[in-house]
Amino acid sequence: MAARRRGRGEGSIYRRKDGRWVGQYEVGGKRRCVYGKTRKEVASKLTTALADGNEGLIFDSDHLTVAQYLDRWLHSIRGKVRESTWVRHEGNVRVHVKPALGRVRLGTVDAWMCVS
């Protein structure tokens, strides 16, 4: 049985020489990859990544600040949680997180930055 070709915008899956599987997809003109030990695992990750992209959850961490990411996140959860929960999250982000980490590039944030 011949393998079914993936359609345009569905990404691609292939096996590397070292045995790992790779799934590639494109977001905003940039190629992104997900990796896994099995083809099934990569197919699952690729489906999730493409679904997140359709909801606007894919981002370019090199050019995005923590404040911009949190604004997107708050917008994406607005109708999915109770209004009181959203108000509490928005207040915590506005009062605590944005003043401390809002200007930092998302790609440079790690656990040690948040400890001090």
Q: Is the pLDDT of residue 25 over 70?
A: yes
* Ranges assigned E (strand) in 1-116: 12-15, 21-27, 30-36
State residue 98's pLDDT score: 95
Q: Which is nearest to 42 in space by CA: 27, 57, 25?
A: 25
Amino acid residing at 84 = S
**Beta pairing partners, 26:** 31
Residue 28 has pLDDT above 70, yes or no: no
- Is residue 31 pLDDT above 90, yes or no? no
Q: How far apart are the first and last CA of the chain?
A: 57
